Structure 1
Amino acid sequence: MRPITQLARRFVRLEIDIWVSLARALARRPDIAAGTPIRYAGAVSAFFWAFLVVSAVEIPAVHLIIPWPPVQLVALILGVWGLLWMAGMLAAHHMYPHVLTDELLRIRSLRRVALDLPVADIRAVRTDLRAYDGAKSLQLTGPGETTLAVIVGSSTNIRVDLTEPRTFHTPHGDFTVGTVAFWADDPRAALASIRTAMVTARAL
């Protein structure tokens, strides 16, 4: 029963995250606070928008095709729920970007995953485009599984090497790694900003 309970908890948490993200999007309140956002939604936005358009067309079409009112109602409820759910998932990618401050690089995956990397602990950063198999948003890769990849659209394009391994606590477990890889929509701008922050941190 324990795996079923864990799966149910993850589903409930994801459902909460989706609706909170949608509410933030409607209120135009991205979770950025102080700092420079590094966006990653562009890698998946086209997919979500395509789904939303298809769903918006499908809901009235199904309503016209099905002749039974009770079934029409169920199909309508499921269709609207699916449409709002995908809108919330798209919103989650936009409302919780990576964030860079003078002291910290926070790498995110939607609402619940946030890896805090002190800028002073970053040894090197570079572009490194890689593709991954599987649907997991967090994967251990590299020799000895020393890299934690925060994946968007099955890819990462920036690699951050730390001065020493750090342990990150996530909803998917604890990971001790010396390198973190993630996706940025504009890797050149992200790289420049991170390197500027590194120079500033070392000058202090």
Structure 2
Amino acid sequence: MTRGTPAATPAEAKAGSGGGPGGVRLLRPLAYAVLPAEVVLAVLLVGGFRIPAAVWAGVELLVGALLLAEVLAYLRLRRRGLSRREVLAALVPAPVLRIVGHELRIMACLGRWAARRPHGVEGVDGVFPHARDQAALMYGFAFVCVVETVGLSYLLADWPAVHAVVLVLDVYTVLFVLGLHAAAATRPHTLTGEVLRLRQAAHVDVSVPLGLIASVRHDPVFSHERAEGELNLAVGSQTSLTVELAGPIDVPRFFGPPRPVRLIRFHADDARALHRALAPAVTRARTAPSPSPDPLPRA
């Protein structure tokens, strides 16, 4: 493979086998061309521009044909034996899937927050929240967004179409800001007998094997510079615990491939309690006897 040529994912490889050059692979370029044109026309229509009927009908026809082709491709790939997740990975670009998945997790966290049902805390040894120190900032940001929503509603009252679009966007922005805080509140750090699970909102979820931790210390830090091999999970611009690893672990990124890290800084509402629980757990994990091998069978 030449340098700079992205490797095909397993789902794309399965989708491409036997599908022909003009099949599934042609749908993404068509979507990149047709869907932005649909958005541009919608913005022009809301802005009061007169769009020729032939142009509007042509774009709508292309969008309908694209959706029909996507449905047919989905059914064909499912008949070929791909799972739903593999079909989505073949038809939809990975960045789009990540963005949509993140938005869905944010909205789900709002429901969990209202129901007081934290995520991923069943059967763990310790639960350590980390959202307290950002609450005032997030509530203040949400209040500013509400004020903006009310102000724009009065300013755009004479333009009903524009007012409706902006109102939807503003309400979603308020829900998104509250959802970011809800994600932090409902997805705490957890500790089990073998793994320290570190999370930040709905976009970071890292499992650190306790046996790989070389040292852990209570280390308040209020400024963080980007450095190779480091992961900073700041809350309210601060971290309170630092974990150094004996070897690198791969940490997923929102866009792009995972990156290896050997030092993780993160925050907890009760950092000292997490430090007290983590230090002996790391010691037990590192000194635990390895499982004895099976006895050799007798001749």
Q: TM-score range by the shorter chain?
A: 0.7 to 0.9
Query: In structure 2, what residue type is equivalent to 1:77?
Result: V
Q: 2:252 aligned with 1:167, yes or no? A: no
Separation in 2, partners of 1:176, 1:78: 37
Separation in 1, partners of 2:175, 2:229: 38
Instruction: Report the alpha carbon displacement of residue 67 of structure 1 after superposing the two structures with TM.
Output: 3.0
Separation in 1, partners of 2:270, 2:229: 25
Q: 2:275 aligned with 1:188, yes or no? A: no
Q: Work out whether residues 224 and 232 of structure 2, in 8 Å CA contact, stay in contact via their aligned partners in 1.
A: no
Q: TM-score, normalised by structure 1?
A: 0.79
How many residue pairs were aligned? Answer: 193
Q: 2:175 aligned with 1:84, yes or no? A: yes
What's 1:58 paired with?
148
What's 2:104 paired with?
16
Query: In structure 1, what residue type is equivalent to 2:113?
Result: A
Taking a change above 3 Å as real, the CA distance of residues 62 and 146 of structure 1, as seen in their structure-2 partners, is closer
Deviations 1:5-41 (CA, angstroms, capped at 9, x unpaired): 5654443232222112222223322112222222221
Instruction: Report the alpha carbon displacement of residue 155 of structure 1 after superposing the two structures with TM.
Output: 3.2
Identity %: 30
User: Where does structure 1 lack aligned partners over 5 or more consecutive residues?
Assistant: 134-138
Separation in 1, partners of 2:273, 2:193: 15
1:130-169 matches, cutoff 5 A: 130=221, 131-132=223-224, 141=227, 145-162=228-245, 164-169=246-251
Moved more, 8-17 or 81-90: 8-17
What's 1:46 paired with?
136
What's 1:104 paired with?
195
Q: Give the secondary structure class of the aligned counterpart of 1:44.
A: helix
Which has the larger Rg?
2
Deviations 1:77-97 (CA, angstroms, capped at 9, x unpaired): 122111111111111111111
Separation in 1, partners of 2:230, 2:149: 43
Q: TM-score, normalised by structure 2?
A: 0.56
